[in-house]
Amino acid sequence: MQSANVLLRKIVRSSMLPLAAQHGMKKDLFPLSRTLSLSLHLKQDKLCEPSEKVDLDEWKKVMKSGLQEEVSEMVSEPKELSSLAAARETLEMWRLAGRAVPENITEDQLKTFMECPSKSAKKKYLKYLHLKELYKKNSKRKTDEKRERRLEEQDEASKPEESRKSSFLCLWSSTMDKAYNWRAAQSMIFGQPLVFDMSYEKEMSVREVTNTVRQIALSEGCNRRSLEPFHIHLCNFKDDSLYHREFVKHYREAWGKLLITVTDKCYTEIFPKDKLIYLTADSPKVMKTFEHDKIYIVGSMVDKSIKTGVSLARAKRLGLETAALPLEKYLLWSRGAKNLTLDQMMHILLTLKDTADWKKALEFVPKRKYCGFVNKPVKELKKTLDLINTLRLGKGREEVGKQFAKNYSKKYKLK
Amino acid sequence: VQPPEKPLQAEEWDKLREDFQAPEVFEEVMLNSMIRCNSPIDVAKSLLTHVAKRKGDVAYNVLVKYLTLCVQQGRVSEVRDVYDIMKARFKILESGAYSLLIKGLSNSDHWRMALTLLEEVKKIMIPSRTCYECCIKAASRHQDFKLAFELYDEMLAQDVVPTLNVLQSFFDFSRGMKGAELQKELFGILLYLRDNQIYPHKTFMRSIRLWFESIPGGNWRGRLTKIKESGQCPVCDHQLEDSNLTEEEYSNLSQRIIKDVIHGTDTFRKTSPQEFEAFQTFVENRLPFDIVIDGLNVSHIKTRKLQCENLLDAVNCLAKENTRLLVLGRKHMLMNTSNWKREIMKEMQNKADFFFAENISEDDAFLLYATLRSGKHCKFVTRDFLRDHKACLSDSLTRHLFRKWQRGHQVAFSAEGRSIQFLVSFPAAPAFRYDCVVQTTGDTWHIPYKDVFEEKYSYQVPRKWLCIQQK
């Protein structure tokens, strides 16, 4: 008994912590396991303690000490903030918290922010501003880099051979402009009209109107550059509308000099009704060929909230013929809505007008929206697909099953 | 990254930081993983100390992360310290920090502070529902019901939807309390459930029941039950409210359907004024119908059969003596195509009235109109959930009415085997003759509830009920 006691004492002593032994474990020896577990626990506790004395609350002291000067500064400021200033403060705090918030925000943007009806609308708007800011910063950095590089290059390739002979004056862009304008002017007399219906302002948010104007500007640009431009009509255009303001913002002085027709009249007042075709993705009729004596109407609407049937309703009201692009017929559609942007429409229509080649024209549909071109009519494709499916699922499966059973039963029987 | 298990020295943090790929966000990432692993607070402290020593400052987002950890572990004194530091450092805080502080403080003896913080939040924006939840719970935990209900009313006034937790906590904390005012408020909550067609879950239901039974001198007694198909409660033999709309509700719903669903912003989007007018005179001349059928929807029951045969089956199945049928379709059905045989169409037209809309019009809108116009007994047949039409209704009250009416009047069908089974009420449950909402007669309450983790589609209603009656 005694020898065992000594042995145990030795074990206890030799363990890392003499503490357990000190607590008088001599007397009762049988709860050995308890002792050991206790010591283990103590050991962990010991380890957890900041052994080499890290002052854990030191950061608080640092934070508080840094304060003194700032506090004295702040006292002099007026306590009540205007709502705008308060919003600005909140934004700053959000930025510090690492949310997607722009660094600089103008008074107008702040007001728009405060007028947002819901929290999520506010968040969205801020994110939009944030991304815009990032984008701007990046492009600025890039142009700066470019400029520097150019300056370096100029320094390197400084003086030699200044006099290069050329029979043309280097006035490319302005000459081109003149040529383009000449063509556009001709189109205003002889060209095929293309109407943008500007009556959807009420259906859109401010952002959507801005996007629409941008898209129209892009379409106008590519129209001007084409060999045989359309004569663009902006119909139902109100002078004091948001559209107008956005156009002026976009084009500045050039707005008055554009070679397009802008009118507050409806297209039905200008053109004979039977010549008009309203292009809309909701139309039950599918366009087969591009007709050179018809006047196509495109609704100037960006609709992010998918309001189906708005432009179809308009065409129905006016009793106009409608048509949709034959997207399904020529493309294996994969994802995305069938409504295209205005500049894509313009590209497609211009190509059709010049070449009458659907495949070429539909190249302008964004690649992400379709898997590829269909070389056979879809109906035939569907038939073969159905055939394959029935073969695979119907008879095919049975047969495969039978064969499978045959093979395996044979094997099993043999064994 | 794996957070360390014990506080580290500055040098050790430095080393870890250098090994990390993106040293700028090291503290953030580290604190995030500490929050995830619920690391000891001392470890986080040592990291903050390291940051403070290195930069002479701790960034706001790092502080907020640390605060999250403190709140997560319920370290109230630490939360207060952080709050003091933040308050001294920044003029105002942002919503994330506020809600953390409110959450952290409302569970402690300093819960009054959470209320002052809530006031501060209100200056900037509408507080979130979890902020309200914390404050209301704190107030009712400390038996300050007046305050709790003030906050609750304020929340409702601002269109913040209360969590079921809050509602439940009212019942939990006022168990065994006396007071007519309190009782009225709690009844108000039950009526809120009724108005918004919210079904409490099982534990919430238990809280309600316990509260009722604990009212001193109230003699309330609750029993769990299932309501008979006739709408009678097996416990108290009380007849539940029937599912029909009142006259006022009915006419209200009809008008709103015409205004919002059929006309909407532009009548031309779904039909045209001429067509709608023609349809109206058509319906008025033949009123009332007993069953209105969505022809195109029904014609797709079985893909093996021709569409017109499907429709013929349906019409034959539903046409009995003196049952007036109306079938809605589109003009292309009359074209004698492979799917629509002229003879069969002729045969059907002898048994039922047909209206053919334009091919680009929406026939569902006509379906709703004809059914509503025919009166309360009229039912309609379609498998469509009609969600898009419900979405056209502008306010939630009318949408609730629509759902209720739909439950009572839509007939779905199942196409198992050869025959088509009709008159399965929508969606495949026995016809509800009673209305499935919280309801009272003064001395009884009937409350439908669902199991806690029961997956329930929004169109389904719970089958289990709590019956409470006063002896």
Look at residue A74 in the predicted model and tell me its pLDDT.
47
Contact B124 A50 (CB under 8 A): no
Closest partner residue to A56 (CB to CB) among B7, B85, B269 is B7
pLDDT tens for residues A158-212?
Answer: 655 555 666 666 667 888 888 888 888 989 899 999 999 999 998 898 889 999 9
Cβ–Cβ gap A63/B89 under 8 Å: yes
The whole-angstrom distance between B244's CA and the closest CA on chain A is 34
Rounded distance between C-alpha atoms, residue B92 and residue B98, angstroms: 10
Query: Token pair for residue B312?
Result: 């013929």
Do B347 and B310 contact (CB within 8 A), yes or no? no
Provide CB contacts within 8 A for B455, sequence distance 6+. none
Residue B293 and residue B13: Cα distance in Å, rounded? Answer: 73
Question: Closest partner residue to A57 among B28, B45, B123, by Cβ?
Answer: B45
Q: If contacts are CB pairs under 8 Å, which of residues 8-67 in chain A contact chain B?
A: 47-48, 50, 52, 54-60, 62-64, 66-67
Tell me whether B454 touches chain A (CB under 8 Å).
no
Q: Does B97 touch chain A (CB under 8 A)?
A: yes
Task: Please indicate if any CB of chain A lies within 8 Å of the CB of B25.
Answer: no
Q: What is the structure's pLDDT at A31?
A: 44
Q: What b/e readout covers A376-404, taking b as 16+ CB neighbours within 10 angstroms?
A: eebeeeeeeeeeeeeeeeeeeeeeeeeee
Average pLDDT over residues B356-377: 88
* 3-state class (DSSP) for residue A196: strand
Residues in A closer than 8 angstroms to B56, CB to CB, are 62, 66
- Note whether A316 contacts B: Cβ–Cβ < 8 A: yes
Distance between A116 CA and the closest CA of chain B, angstroms: 12
Instruction: Return d(Cα A11, Cα A13) in angstroms, integer.
Output: 5
List A residues 117-136 in contact with B (Cβ-Cβ < 8 A).
119
**Contact with chain B for residue A84, Cβ under 8 A:** no
Angle at A174 between CA A135 and CA A186, to 5 degrees: 105
Nearest to A59 among B49, B89, B266 (CB): B49
A96 in reach of chain B (CB within 8 A): yes
- pLDDT over threshold 90, residue B445: yes
- What pLDDT is recorded for position A59? 78
From the CA of B4, how many Å to the nearest CA of chain A? 11
Interface touch A86/B51, C-beta < 8 Å: no
Q: Sort out which chain A residues have CB atoms less than 8 A from B126's CB and list them.
A: 119
Cβ pair A94:B94 closer than 8 A: yes
Chain A: give the shortest CA distance to residue B159, in Å: 11
Average pLDDT score, chain A:
78
- Contact yes or no for A50 and B42 at CB 8 A: yes
Q: Tell me the ipTM for this assembly.
A: 0.81
CB contact B7 to A (< 8 Å): yes
Provide, as residue numbers in chain B, all residues whose Cβ is less than 8 Å from the Cβ of A96.
59-61, 94
Chain A residue with Cα closest to B128: A119
Judged by CB atoms closer than 8 Å, whether chains meet at B360 and A284 is answered as yes
- Could you say which residues from 221 to 280 on chain B have a Cβ atom under 8 Å away from some Cβ of chain A? 266, 268-270, 272
Domains belonging to chain B, first-starting first, are 10-185 (1.25.40.10), 247-423 (3.40.50.11980)
Nearest CB neighbour to A63, from listed B42, B58, B123: B58
Nearest to B49 among A52, A54, A64 (CB): A54
A-contacting residues of B 420-449, CB under 8 Å?
Answer: none
Is B52's CB within 8 Å of A94's CB?
no
**Smallest Cβ distance to B94: which of A66, A90, A119?**
A90
Distance CA B459, CA B402 (A): 12
Q: Per the CB < 8 Å rule, is B126 touching A98?
A: no
Question: Which candidate from B60, B90, B269 shows the least CB-CB separation from A313?
Answer: B269
- B42/A contact by beta carbon, under 8 A: yes
Residues 6+ away with beta carbon under 8 Å from A118: none
Q: What percent of chain B has pLDDT over 90?
A: 30
Query: Are B56 and A64 a contacting pair at CB < 8 A?
Result: no
Closest residue of chain A to B62, computed from CA coordinates: A97
Which alpha helices (H) appear in B247-341, and where do they start and end? 247-256, 273-286, 295-298, 307-318
Cβ contacts of A369-375, under 8 Å, gap ≥ 24: A369/A331, A369/A333, A369/A334, A369/A335, A369/A336, A370/A327, A370/A331, A370/A332, A370/A333, A370/A334, A371/A331, A371/A332, A371/A333, A371/A334, A372/A331, A372/A332, A373/A330, A373/A331, A373/A332, A374/A329, A374/A330, A374/A331, A374/A332
Share the mean pLDDT of chain B. 86
Query: Which residue of B lies nearest to A312 if distances are taken between CA atoms?
Result: B269
The answer for residues whose C-beta is within 8 angstroms of residue B217's C-beta and 6 or more apart is: B178
Question: Can you tell me the distance from the alpha carbon of B471 to that of B457, in angstroms, rounded to the nearest whole number?
Answer: 36
Across the interface, whether the CB atoms of A56 and B58 are under 8 A apart is answered: no
pLDDT tens digit sequence for B398-440: 888 888 888 778 887 766 555 555 544 444 444 567 888 899 9
pLDDT band at B444 (very low <50, low <70, confident <90, very high): very high
Q: Tell me which chain A residues have a C-beta less than 8 angstroms from the C-beta of B55.
A: none
Residue with tokens 């023609």: B278
Give the nearest partner residue to A59 out of B58, B91, B96, using CB atoms.
B58
Q: Which residues in chain B are contacts of A97 at CB distance < 8 A?
A: 60-61, 64, 94, 96-97
**What are the tens digits of pLDDT across the range B136-153?**
999 999 989 999 999 999
Asked if A299 contacts A202 with a C-beta cutoff of 8 angstroms, the reply is no
Tokens at B168, concatenated: 């439940």
CA distances from A85 to A74, A80, A97, B90, B92 (A): 15, 10, 18, 14, 12
Peptide bond into B288 cis (omega under 30): yes
In angstroms, what separates the C-alpha of B399 from chain A's closest C-alpha? 20
pLDDT for B86-126, tens place per residue? Answer: 888 888 888 889 999 999 999 888 899 999 999 988 888 88
CA B154 – CA B138 distance, rounded (Å): 16
Tokens of A310: 């708005």
Nearest CA in chain B to A99: B61
Which residue does chain B place closest to A79, by CA atoms?
Answer: B91
Tell me how close the Cα of B264 comes to any Cα of chain A, in angstroms.
Answer: 11
Taken in order of first residue, the domains within chain A and their CATH numbers are 2-98 (no CATH), 191-373 (3.40.1280.30), 376-415 (no CATH)
The pLDDT value given to residue A6: 52
* Section B203-226 average pLDDT: 91
Q: Which of residues 325-364 of B touch A (CB under 8 A)?
A: 359-360
| Dihedral angle sign, alpha carbons of residues A244, A246, A247, A249 | positive
Residue B240 is classified by DSSP as P
Reduced to 3 states (helix: H, G, I; strand: E, B; else coil), residue A313 is helix
Q: How confident is the prediction along chain A (415 residues), in pLDDT tens digits per residue? A: 455 555 545 544 444 444 444 444 444 444 444 444 444 444 444 444 444 556 777 777 777 776 555 444 444 444 555 788 888 888 898 998 888 999 989 989 999 898 888 889 999 999 999 999 999 999 999 999 999 999 998 887 765 555 566 666 666 788 888 888 888 898 989 999 999 999 999 889 888 999 999 999 999 999 999 989 999 999 999 988 999 999 999 998 889 888 999 999 999 999 999 999 999 998 989 999 999 999 999 999 998 877 788 899 999 999 999 999 998 888 888 888 888 999 999 999 999 999 888 888 999 999 988 888 876 655 666 666 666 666 656 554 455 445 445 544 444 433 3
| Contact yes or no for B27/B66 (Cβ under 8 A) | no
The most confident of A138-147, A397-406, B323-332, B372-381, by mean pLDDT: A138-147
**H helices then E strands: how many in chain B?**
20, 10
Which residue from B minimizes the CA distance to A285? B360
CA distances from A190 to A185, A227, A230 (A): 9, 13, 9
Residue in A74, A86, A97 closest to B61 by CB = A97
Is B52–A58 a contact, with Cβ atoms under 8 angstroms apart?
Answer: yes
- Report the residue from A56, A97, A316 with minimal CB separation from B94: A97
Average pLDDT score over residue span B235-246: 85
Whether A105 and A91 have beta carbons less than 8 Å apart is answered as yes
- Return the pLDDT at A379: 63
Residue range A133-164, pLDDT digits in tens: 999 999 999 999 999 999 998 887 765 555 56
- pLDDT tier, B184 (very low <50, low <70, confident <90, very high otherwise): very high
Residues in chain B closer than 8 A to A119 (CB atoms): 125-126
Q: How far is B315 from chain A (nearest CA, A)?
A: 29
Chain A to chain B Cβ contacts (< 8 Å): 108
pLDDT at B307: 86
